[in-house]
Chains A and B, each alone.
Chain A
């Protein structure tokens, strides 16, 4: 008896799940587009009633404002102001990320210390800061610390005669000379130091002696920097109070300081929690194995636990970095001229609101995407390749 091959009964196309799926999707897409179209229509209608621009022509208009800390002239176009704002955002973001990571890691490790006092200090810090809104910290930093606690310029603090601290900013000693040259110099010194360290490690692999790569690397770096300094005739400039301002040195805008301080404190508390969690997530066996081969406590932390912990922490850390970058937009509330402040000012001066703020949002989106890409890159490089 031969088995009969029966074809399944043909389903009419309007009950076929494939068609239905596509119909549903297209319907959903149409619904969303209809909503967007309605919103856009309202927008166009309301805008036409009031004859305001809707494109990016406003970027060519003169800015009519100056930015402290930059030489922007008030007749330069708005796009230049946006560029300055963007650079200011980057500045606070990069420094903030670096400082927050360092502080956060230290506090995270402190929370796991065997020392009761240190542990308590860390716990109090993290629990206190984590549960406060960032804006509160920022307001506190600005109104209470910078404006109230820091002295007026007439009574500025002069710690060690090197710094000038007042509520108009913190002036630090700075070098005199071309900064691009110095940056190039420092980068090449770092490169050379890196090469020297690698050579040391290679030699250590062959001879078996301690490589002390760090020591050699840092010494080379310092030596080269001093060499460049002397060679190109760089000098120091100490700030001093001059009338109602300071002359000499580099003056850190008080808003920059307040913003940086609050961002670093806030983000470091979150990073501390992440670092603590990731250290706890490193398998116990690793720590025990490190003890078994008689590594000292700091060696254990440095060589075994921390590298693995960072691998685990990387995605969460990346998230916190993104948060820090987005939170830097709060600088607009304390007159720090970053991207959002610039956008607010130009909108107040007559630039159309929706295009200006949309441009700002796109820039933040771009920064976020780039940061995500960088973090993902490191994530992939550090990721364990499981068998």
Chain B
């Protein structure tokens, strides 16, 4: 089933580890905050997405079922 990353925008402090670990899906804007690519995460990257979720210092990243 398709997975998607969701950011809790209020708790996100712009640490940027997520973009380091999943550059294919997450880039940082001029102030270090994540910009997520739209769409489901390619299956081969889901494991890396989970690592990005675990690495977030403030638990602002979540992997969830993609909404249509």
User: Are A and B subunits of one complex?
Assistant: no
